[in-house]
Amino acid sequence: MTTNLTTRSKNTSISRRQVMIGAAGLSFAFVLGGPLARAATLATEPTGKALSPWVSIAPDGTITIMSAATEMGQGSMTSLPLILAEDLDADWSKVQVVAAPPIDAIYGNPGFSGMMYTAGSNAVRSYYLSLRTFGAQVRRVLLDNAASKLGVPVEELMTEPSVVVHAKSGRRLTYGDIAAFAQVPDKPPEIKPEQLKKPSQFRLIGKDVMRVDVPGKVNGTARYAIDVQVPGMLYGAVLRAPVEGAAPDKFDESRAAAVAGVIKVIRMPYGVGVVAETPWAAFQAREALSHSTTWTKSGKAWAFDSEKGLEDFAAAARDLKSEAAEWSRSGEPRDALTRAASTFDAEYRCDYAYHAQMEPLNAVAAVSQAGDSVEIWCGTQSQTTAQEASAKALGIAREKVKLNYLLMGGGFGRRGPRDADFVVDAVLLAKEAGRPVKVMWTREDDVHNGRFRPLSAHYLRAGFDDSGKVAVYHHRLVGDRVTPSFDPVRYESRGRKDFILMVGADFGGYDVPHQLVEQLYRDTGVRTAPLRGISWTANKFAVETFVDELAVKRSIDPVAYRLELIKDPRARRVVETVARMAEWGKKRDGRGMGFAFLNYSDSLVAGAAEVSLERSTGNVMLHNFWCALDCGIAVQPDNVAAQTESSIVYGLGLALMERISIKDGTVEQSNFYDYLVPRMSDVPLMHIDVISTDNPPTGVGQMATPLVTPAIGNAIAQLTGTRLRHAPFTPERVKKALA
Amino acid sequence: MTTNFTVNGRAASTDAPPATPLLWVIREELKLTGTKFGCGTGLCGACMVHIDGKRGFSCQTQVSEMAGKSVTTIEGLSADSSHPLQKAWLAEQVPQCGYCQSGQIMSAADLLEQNPKPTRAQIVAHMSTNICRCGTYQRIVRAVERAAREA
DSSP state string for A484-529:
HHH-HHHHHHTTS--HHHHTT-S-TTS--SEEEEEEEEE--S--B-
Q: With residue A480 as reference, give the H or E element that holds it.
A: strand A470-480
Does B41 sit within 8 Å of A443, measured CB to CB? Answer: yes
Q: Based on the fold, state whether residues B72 and B96 are members of the same structural domain.
A: no
Range of the domain at B107: 84-150
- Three-state DSSP class for A235? strand
Q: Considering its fold, how many domains does chain B have in total? A: 2
- Residues of A568-598 as b/e, b for ≥16 C-beta within 10 angstroms? eebbbbbbbbbbebbebeeeeeebbbbbbbb
Specify the pLDDT at position A265.
98
B contact test, residue of A118, A219, A262, A682 with most B CBs within 10 A: A219
Residues of A in contact with B124 (CB under 8 A): 680-681
Does B136 sit within 8 Å of A645, measured CB to CB? Answer: yes
- Three-state DSSP class for A75? coil
Alpha carbon of B60: minimum distance to chain A alpha carbons (Å): 13
In B, minimum Cα distance to A215 occurs at B90
Decide if pLDDT at A16 tops 70: no
Among B20, B98, B128, beta carbon nearest to A407: B98
What's the CATH number where B140 sits? 1.10.150.120
Interface membership of A1 toward B (CB under 8 Å): no
Decide if pLDDT at A49 tops 70: no
Among A73, A220, A678, beta carbon nearest to B97: A73
Instruction: Say which CATH architecture domain A306-352+452-738 belongs to.
Output: 2-Layer Sandwich (3.30)
Does this chain's domain A225-298+361-440 share its CATH topology with A306-352+452-738? yes
- Report residue A722: phi and psi, to 5°: -100, 135
Does A648 sit within 8 Å of B99, measured CB to CB? Answer: no
Nearest to A84 by CA among A180, A189, A205, A190: A205
Does B125 sit within 8 Å of A226, measured CB to CB? Answer: no
Interface membership of A528 toward B (CB under 8 Å): no
Contact (CB, 8 A) for A702 and A585: no
Per-domain residue ranges of chain A? 18-216, 225-298+361-440, 306-352+452-738
Specify the pLDDT at position A45.
30
Q: Based on the fold, state whether residues B90 and B64 are members of the same structural domain.
A: no
Q: Which of B47, B77, B107 is the last residue of a domain?
A: B77
Decide if pLDDT at B10 tops 80: yes
A contact test, residue of B49, B85, B133, B140 with most A CBs within 10 A: B133
Distance CA A27, CA A14 (A): 16
Q: With residue A157 as reference, give the H or E element that holds it.
A: strand A157-160
Residues of B in contact with A408 (CB under 8 A): 97
Q: Which fold has domain A225-298+361-440?
A: Aldehyde Oxidoreductase; domain 4 (3.30.365)
Q: Which amino acid is at B6?
A: T
Interface membership of B24 toward A (CB under 8 Å): yes
Cβ contacts of A679 within 8 Å, gap of 6 or more: B128, B130, B131, B137
The residue-averaged pLDDT of A99-116 equals 92
CATH of domain A18-216: 3.30.365.10
Specify the pLDDT at position A11.
31
Please name every residue paired with A265 in a beta bridge, in sequence order, or none if there are none: A274
Residue A189's pLDDT band (cuts 50, 70, 90): confident
C-alpha angle A534/A643/A55, rounded to 5°?
Answer: 95
Q: What is the ipTM of this complex?
A: 0.99
Contact (CB, 8 A) for A333 and A473: yes
Residues of A in contact with B98 (CB under 8 A): 73, 213-214, 216-217, 222, 407, 409
Q: Based on the fold, state whether residues B88 and B146 are members of the same structural domain.
A: yes
The residue-averaged pLDDT of A527-533 equals 98
Residue A56's pLDDT band (cuts 50, 70, 90): confident
Per-residue pLDDT tens over the stretch B74-101:
999 999 999 999 999 999 999 999 999 9
Specify the pLDDT at position A106.
87
Q: Based on the fold, state whether residues B54 and B98 are members of the same structural domain.
A: no
Secondary structure letter of residue A660 according to DSSP: B
Decide if pLDDT at A17 tops 60: no
Mean pLDDT for all residues in chain A: 92
Q: Based on the fold, state whether residues B59 and B93 are members of the same structural domain.
A: no
Distance CA A736, CA A315 (A): 21
Q: Based on the fold, state whether residues B67 and B95 are members of the same structural domain.
A: no
Q: Based on the fold, state whether residues B69 and B116 are members of the same structural domain.
A: no
Instruction: Provide the total of helices (H) and of strands (E) in chain B, helices listed first.
Output: 6, 5
Q: Based on the fold, state whether residues B62 and B106 are members of the same structural domain.
A: no
Interface membership of B100 toward A (CB under 8 Å): yes
What's the CATH number where B12 sits? 3.10.20.30
Does B137 sit within 8 Å of A214, measured CB to CB? Answer: no
Q: Based on the fold, state whether residues B36 and B102 are members of the same structural domain.
A: no
